[in-house]
Amino acid sequence: MNSQTGELAGPPHVHHMDARTAYGAAKLGMWLFLGTEVLLFGGLFAAFAVYRWKYLGEFTHASKHLDWRLGGLNTAVLLVSSFFAAVAVDAAQHNDNKKVVRNLAITIGCGLLFLVIKYIEYSGKYHHGLFPGTAEWNSPEFNESYKCFFGLYFAMTGLHALHVIVGMIVLGWVLSLARKNRFSRKYYTPVEVGALYWHLVDIIWIYLFPLLYLVA
Amino acid sequence: MNDNNHDEPGHVVPYKMYVRVLVALLILTVTTVWVAQYDFGVMNVVVAMVIASIKAMLVALFFMHLKYENPLTWGYAIFPLILLTLLIGMLFLDNPFRVS
Amino acid sequence: MAESATGEKLNYLNHERGLWSWLTTIDHKRIGLMYLFAMTIFFFVAGILALCMRLELFHPGPDIMTAETYNVFFTLHGTIMIFLFIVPGIPATMGNFLIPLMIGAKDVAFPRLNLLSYYLYLIGAVLALVALVKPVGPEFFSNFLTWLGLTGPVDTGWTFYAPYSLESGTAVVWMTFAAFILGFSSILTGLNFIVTIHKLRAPGMTWFRLPVFIWASYATAIIQTLATPVVGISLLLIILERVMGIGIFNPKLGGDPVLFEHFFWFYSHPVVYIMVLPAFGIVGEIIPVFSRKPLFGYKMVCYASLAIAFVGFFIWAHHMFVAGISDKSAIYFSIATFGVAIPTAIKVFNWVSTMYKGSIRLETPMLYAMSFVFIFLIAGTTGVYLATLATDVFYHDTYFVVAHFHYTIQGGAVIGLIAALHFWYPKITGKMYNDKVARSAWFLVFVGFNLTFLPQFVLGMQGMPRRYFDYLPMFEPMHQLSTIGAFINGAGYSLALLNLFYCAFFGKERAPSNPFESHSLEWQTQSPPIHENFEETPVVTDWPYSYGVPVEGGGHH
């Protein structure tokens, strides 16, 4: 026996992969992608760690300009949204496409509410001149370590908000599939994979909230 | 790859579990706000990060079903965290010891 | 056997026809070829830029370009070669073509995602080309281009180091965004390969029956997936700093430029292994076939790939020894860097041991593979000087570094890719290349390459700094040797690739399914393979290197 196969040969080579392999592949693919997201945000967390160490006093002071009540409210909103994303998977596992639609609609609604609250926070910063490009920001009196804190704040929360928007689009697509009754306990890969992405967005915020609003 | 032999490709978690996890997450959120009033000095950030990590683990283990995943998924869930620790760790082997 | 309308055997090249069938294909083999086509163009563009620079350096003083143009040229040469050619490189071309064939699958795990990776690559390439635009024409138009940030070709070097990249008046935003998109493409390719190798292996294809190219590609894919995001965020931060005026890396705004270097090299050191690990895999495939001996120490070669990928994450700051990092971290990074020599040396040792007492056939792929081993030995040993703290202070930013990384990347990755193109050419095209032309091209490449870069080691030791367009007269002889070598090298690559293209389209000699009598799976199907790769799902019963006995169905050898 010389070649790798020898005499044996299997069935005709037609199917790409069976349903269970496809499900496992999709989930593994999403977990890998979440790994890349962790390292994408990881760069920002690493920068934050270094500058917080470097400018501890200034960071603590600058962080007082953030409203922990709005941040805390947003944390709760995202946790609730994550819960509904998780139970959307549960509903699909019980063949209930209607509940998948309902749960995902609530998840997306929470995402929207999160963005509205974020917008209120951002516009507050803008009015206080704590926003890049305002006259106060560009004035020489604006402390450079403040600039560092708020630069990181806007970079981190802005990138996170972008992920919230992407997550809402992904879940909106899953929702549209659920409305066509595409899911059953045998096939619910998009619900699960979409929810995985949403949970990661939640996890990122779980770290952002105390770092930016509470202990900085 | 899955060890259960039901029709479902993945693991079904009892609904109650999701509710309990959500309640725990909300309680931990209140806790982290509450403890932020007290000053533990350098431990402030440690306390906050420990609570955040417990929350993140709850989300990962139960909402994301990591608890029921195979070792491969565990590996690819943890390896990025090791790399991130490495990155941050090495930044702190550099920055505090620089000669200015 | 199914036949097409013209009476040819059906294969992946002729089962559908027309440009549209290529642009919308989700066949991994066709996507691999589309990458190859685009990358070849960029290889020649960046190569011509290099020849222009070599021409400029033939004499001291300005000859054919100004210093500013020279800055733009080396930036574009680096950026195009790195981001558009050698990072997608072997994984996107040979990886796409070979991975499903070698593991006995029909396609990669996510074929549509694979096509998306390709289009992201093209979008990134187009953005990089747009970034070359200079504000010209009527005033309103040039103002519009300036407003868009298209203020002329980038002159920062491919590394985009802060703070210059934050202040340069050129189109840095466009170029960094292009690199970001290309990184995204690379991530999706890596992710796809990891899932493919885990989930789609044919029955009986256990981990230790996988060809070493698969092991190397797997290790590469881990780096592609998990290192790229960190450079992604640092490039995004460069864009944010330039557009919004926040200060993360800019020392004027309280930032730390060395932090950018940390982030950049956290990706860009592992990325060296994205380039060269697949080439290791290719050499590991070619040497046993042409030595007719089992691959020596197969398991060690497999583990060494993973070890290189793993250790590669831990050693990035050896690029920053003179950047002002702390002594403690410099010592750590120097010691850790020596660690990567161990798995690399294991590989070199195993290739040479495979050849020992083998029945060696000096076919063109083998000539390239042996050149690879020779060149990589020099690349690796000169790396030791750069990993050593005391010597690096002297060699840093000299031609020694330039020579070292060209030995690694061009002598390693590019020659590995050319070796692969010759070795799998019969499988890809169903034709044979012109052997005489291929051998002469190899000779030109090998001689030209060494003539270009060996003198650069000497120049570096004499103190010639890199990225300078002018130099002291004492460096002239070595620069002239290097320039002559570069043109021979360029002629060699042109000849090799022209030969391959010409024979693919006009060649008469049909290739048998297994002309080199290899044992691995991709050679057990017809040449070129059918769209589904295999008529029947292969059932694997052996590892791919049991050489030493003649194989049935062999070709003309």
Q: Do the Cβ atoms of C237 and A155 come within 8 Å?
A: yes
What is the C-alpha separation between C107 and C89, in angstroms, rounded? Answer: 19
Question: What is the distance in angstroms between the Cα of A137 and the nearest Cα belonging to chain B?
Answer: 27
Question: What is the distance in angstroms between the Cα of A92 and the nearest Cα belonging to chain B?
Answer: 10
Local confidence band at B2 (pLDDT 50, 70, 90 cut-offs): very low
Q: Do the Cβ atoms of C229 and A36 come within 8 Å?
A: yes
The per-residue pLDDT for A7 is 55
ipTM rounded to 2 decimals: 0.93
Q: Which residue has the higher pLDDT, C332 or C157?
A: C332
Report which of C486, C354, C499, C352 is spatially closest to residue C422, judged by C-alpha positions. C499
pLDDT digits 0-9 by tens, C174-201: 999 999 999 999 999 999 999 999 999 9
Is C550 a member of any domain?
Answer: no
Q: Do the Cβ atoms of C317 and B94 come within 8 Å?
A: yes
Is C147 a member of any domain?
Answer: yes
**B95 within 8 A of C317, measured Cβ to Cβ:** no
What is the C-alpha separation between B49 and B28, in angstroms, rounded? Answer: 12
Q: Do the Cβ atoms of A12 and C533 come within 8 Å?
A: no
Minimum-distance CB partner of B87 among C198, C230, C325? C230
Q: Is C533 left (phi over 0), alpha (psi -120 to 50) or beta?
A: left
What is the C-alpha separation between C171 and C133, in angstroms, rounded? Answer: 9
pLDDT digits 0-9 by tens, C113-150: 999 999 999 999 999 999 988 888 888 888 888 888 88
Helix (H, G, I), strand (E, B) or coil at C5: coil
The per-residue pLDDT for B4 is 43
Local confidence band at C34 (pLDDT 50, 70, 90 cut-offs): very high
Q: What is the reported pTM?
A: 0.94
Report which of B67, C205, B9, C189 is spatially closest to residue A24, judged by C-alpha positions. B9
Residue type (1 letter), C228? T
Q: Which of B30, B63, B90 to mutate to test the interface with A (most CBs of A within 10 A)?
A: B63
Q: Summarize the confidence of residues C27-49 as an average pLDDT.
A: 96
Minimum-distance CB partner of C328 among B72, B83, B97? B97
Sign of CA dihedral A137, A142, A148, A154: negative
Q: What percent of chain C clears pLDDT 70, i.e. is strictly above it?
A: 97
Minimum-distance CB partner of B86 among C259, C313, C326? C313
Is C503 a member of any domain?
Answer: yes
**C491 within 8 A of C424, measured Cβ to Cβ:** no
Q: Which of B81, B87, B94 to mutate to test the interface with C (most CBs of C within 10 A)?
A: B94
Task: Give residues 159 to 178 of A whose Cβ lies within 8 Å of C.
Answer: 159
Minimum-distance CB partner of B93 among C230, C313, C332? C332
Q: Do the Cβ atoms of A42 and B7 come within 8 Å?
A: no
Find chain B residues with C-beta within 8 A of C262's C-beta. Answer: 87, 90-91, 94
**Residues in chain A, pLDDT under 50:** 1
Q: Which of A1, A5, A20, A150 to mutate to test the interface with C (most CBs of C within 10 A)?
A: A5
Q: Summarize the confidence of residues C259-281 as an average pLDDT.
A: 96
Quick one: closest CA in C to B80, which residue? C226
The per-residue pLDDT for C2 is 54
What average pLDDT is seen over chain C? Answer: 93
Sign of CA dihedral B66, B72, B76, B79: positive
Domain spans, chain B: 12-68, 70-100
Q: Summarize the confidence of residues C242-247 as an average pLDDT.
A: 86
Domain spans, chain A: 35-215
Is C14 a member of any domain?
Answer: no
Q: Which residues have C-beta within 8 Å of that of residue C55, sequence separation ≥ 6?
A: C63, C64, C483
Joined together, the tokens standing for residue C18 give: 């027309």
At what angle are helices A189-209 and B43-58 packed, to 10 degrees?
170
Task: Give residues 32 to 91 of B whose Cβ lies within 8 Å of C.
Answer: 72, 79-80, 83, 86-87, 90-91
Kindly report the CATH number assigned to the domain that includes residue C302. 1.20.210.10
Looking at the domain A35-215, which fold is it? Four Helix Bundle (Hemerythrin (Met), subunit A) (1.20.120)
Q: What percent of chain C clears pLDDT 90, i.e. is strictly above it?
A: 86
The per-residue pLDDT for A157 is 96
The per-residue pLDDT for B10 is 78
What is the maximum span of chain B, computed from C-alpha positions, in angstroms? 64
Find chain C residues with C-beta within 8 A of B99's C-beta. Answer: 326-327
Domain count for chain C, please give it: 1
Minimum-distance CB partner of C246 among A4, A29, A147? A147
Find chain A residues with C-beta within 8 A of C187's C-beta. Answer: 33, 36
Is C348 a member of any domain?
Answer: yes
Question: What is the distance in angstroms between the Cα of C367 and the nearest Cα belonging to chain A?
Answer: 24
Those chains having 3 or more beta-carbon pairs within 8 angstroms of chain B are A, C
pLDDT digits 0-9 by tens, A136-171: 887 777 777 888 899 999 999 999 999 999 999 999
What is the C-alpha separation between C552 and A2, in angstroms, rounded? Answer: 8
pLDDT over 60 at C342, yes or no: yes
Is C531 a member of any domain?
Answer: no
Task: Identify the domain containing residue C331 by its residue range.
Answer: 19-524
Find chain C residues with C-beta within 8 A of A4's C-beta. Answer: 209, 519-521, 524, 538, 540-544
Those chains having 3 or more beta-carbon pairs within 8 angstroms of chain A are B, C
**C528 within 8 A of C13, measured Cβ to Cβ:** yes
Question: What is the distance in angstroms between the Cα of B41 and the nearest Cα belonging to chain A?
Answer: 10
Q: Do the Cβ atoms of C313 and B79 come within 8 Å?
A: no
